[in-house]
Amino acid sequence: MQYYRVLHLDDLHLGQGHRIDLDGHAILLTKLAGTPLAIDDACPRDGASLSAGRIEELPDDGTEAQVGFVTCASDGVRISLHDGSVDGSADERVPVYATRLTADSWVEVEVPGPGA
Protein backbone atom coordinates (compact mmCIF):
# COMPACT_ATOMS: atom_id res chain seq x y z
CA MET A 1 0.00 0.00 0.00
CA GLN A 2 1.18 3.49 -0.80
CA TYR A 3 -0.18 7.00 -0.24
CA TYR A 4 -0.36 9.36 -3.20
CA ARG A 5 -0.72 13.14 -2.95
CA VAL A 6 -3.66 14.07 -5.18
CA LEU A 7 -5.35 17.41 -4.43
CA HIS A 8 -5.22 20.26 -1.98
CA LEU A 9 -8.15 20.17 0.47
CA ASP A 10 -9.26 23.62 -0.78
CA ASP A 11 -9.73 22.13 -4.27
CA LEU A 12 -12.31 19.63 -3.00
CA HIS A 13 -15.76 21.16 -2.81
CA LEU A 14 -18.64 19.90 -0.74
CA GLY A 15 -20.90 17.63 -2.78
CA GLN A 16 -18.58 17.51 -5.78
CA GLY A 17 -16.85 14.34 -6.93
CA HIS A 18 -13.43 14.16 -8.55
CA ARG A 19 -12.23 11.17 -10.53
CA ILE A 20 -8.58 10.36 -10.02
CA ASP A 21 -6.57 7.49 -11.49
CA LEU A 22 -3.86 6.04 -9.27
CA ASP A 23 -1.80 2.96 -10.02
CA GLY A 24 -4.52 1.43 -12.19
CA HIS A 25 -7.37 2.31 -9.79
CA ALA A 26 -10.14 4.74 -10.79
CA ILE A 27 -11.17 6.53 -7.60
CA LEU A 28 -13.96 8.93 -6.64
CA LEU A 29 -12.63 11.57 -4.26
CA THR A 30 -14.93 13.99 -2.45
CA LYS A 31 -15.20 15.99 0.76
CA LEU A 32 -17.99 15.82 3.33
CA ALA A 33 -17.99 17.72 6.63
CA GLY A 34 -14.43 18.83 5.86
CA THR A 35 -13.16 15.25 5.56
CA PRO A 36 -11.85 13.77 2.29
CA LEU A 37 -13.39 10.41 1.33
CA ALA A 38 -12.33 8.04 -1.45
CA ILE A 39 -14.10 5.01 -2.95
CA ASP A 40 -13.85 3.02 -6.17
CA ASP A 41 -15.24 5.07 -9.07
CA ALA A 42 -17.11 2.22 -10.77
CA CYS A 43 -20.72 1.35 -10.04
CA PRO A 44 -20.82 -2.32 -9.03
CA ARG A 45 -24.01 -2.90 -11.00
CA ASP A 46 -23.20 -1.43 -14.41
CA GLY A 47 -19.63 -0.08 -14.23
CA ALA A 48 -20.64 3.58 -14.72
CA SER A 49 -18.39 6.26 -13.28
CA LEU A 50 -19.67 7.26 -9.84
CA SER A 51 -17.95 10.66 -10.06
CA ALA A 52 -20.78 11.70 -12.41
CA GLY A 53 -23.33 10.83 -9.72
CA ARG A 54 -25.05 12.94 -7.06
CA ILE A 55 -23.22 13.23 -3.75
CA GLU A 56 -25.29 13.89 -0.66
CA GLU A 57 -24.77 14.10 3.06
CA LEU A 58 -27.49 13.23 5.54
CA PRO A 59 -27.59 15.54 8.55
CA ASP A 60 -26.54 14.24 11.93
CA ASP A 61 -29.69 13.34 13.86
CA GLY A 62 -27.79 12.92 17.10
CA THR A 63 -27.78 9.12 16.99
CA GLU A 64 -24.91 8.52 14.60
CA ALA A 65 -22.17 10.27 12.67
CA GLN A 66 -22.98 12.08 9.48
CA VAL A 67 -23.44 9.77 6.53
CA GLY A 68 -22.53 10.49 2.92
CA PHE A 69 -23.67 8.72 -0.23
CA VAL A 70 -23.15 8.85 -3.96
CA THR A 71 -26.07 7.97 -6.21
CA CYS A 72 -25.02 6.47 -9.54
CA ALA A 73 -26.21 8.69 -12.41
CA SER A 74 -26.71 5.62 -14.61
CA ASP A 75 -28.84 3.27 -12.51
CA GLY A 76 -29.69 5.10 -9.27
CA VAL A 77 -27.79 2.74 -6.95
CA ARG A 78 -26.85 4.50 -3.69
CA ILE A 79 -23.39 3.78 -2.26
CA SER A 80 -21.99 4.81 1.12
CA LEU A 81 -18.92 7.02 0.86
CA HIS A 82 -17.84 5.81 4.29
CA ASP A 83 -17.94 2.01 4.04
CA GLY A 84 -18.74 1.34 0.36
CA SER A 85 -21.99 -0.50 1.11
CA VAL A 86 -24.39 -0.64 -1.82
CA ASP A 87 -28.00 0.32 -1.07
CA GLY A 88 -27.42 -0.52 2.61
CA SER A 89 -26.36 -4.11 1.92
CA ALA A 90 -23.78 -5.64 4.22
CA ASP A 91 -22.88 -8.13 1.47
CA GLU A 92 -22.32 -5.83 -1.51
CA ARG A 93 -19.58 -3.19 -1.26
CA VAL A 94 -17.22 -1.18 -3.41
CA PRO A 95 -13.62 -0.68 -2.28
CA VAL A 96 -12.96 2.24 0.07
CA TYR A 97 -9.55 3.93 0.15
CA ALA A 98 -7.94 5.50 3.21
CA THR A 99 -7.24 9.22 3.03
CA ARG A 100 -5.09 11.52 5.12
CA LEU A 101 -4.15 15.18 5.19
CA THR A 102 -0.60 16.47 5.21
CA ALA A 103 0.44 19.33 7.49
CA ASP A 104 -0.08 21.74 4.58
CA SER A 105 -3.60 20.37 3.77
CA TRP A 106 -2.82 18.16 0.79
CA VAL A 107 -5.08 15.12 0.46
CA GLU A 108 -3.31 11.79 0.12
CA VAL A 109 -5.04 8.55 -0.89
CA GLU A 110 -3.77 5.07 -0.06
CA VAL A 111 -4.08 2.46 -2.79
CA PRO A 112 -2.79 -1.08 -3.22
CA GLY A 113 0.06 -1.63 -5.64
CA PRO A 114 -0.54 -2.33 -9.35
CA GLY A 115 -2.67 -5.33 -10.07
CA ALA A 116 -3.86 -5.67 -6.47
Q: Which CATH architecture has domain 2-111?
A: 3-layer Sandwich (2.102)
pTM: 0.87
Q: Domain limits of the chain?
A: 2-111
Quick check: 15 and 56 in contact, CB under 8 A? Answer: yes
Tens of pLDDT, residues 38-92: 999 999 999 999 999 999 887 655 555 557 899 999 999 999 999 999 987 888 9
Helix runs in 1-116, H state only: none
- Where residue 63 falls (left for φ over 0; alpha for ψ -120 to 50; beta otherwise) is alpha
Query: SS3 letters for 57-87?
Result: EECCCCCCCCEEEEECCCCCCEEECCCCEEC
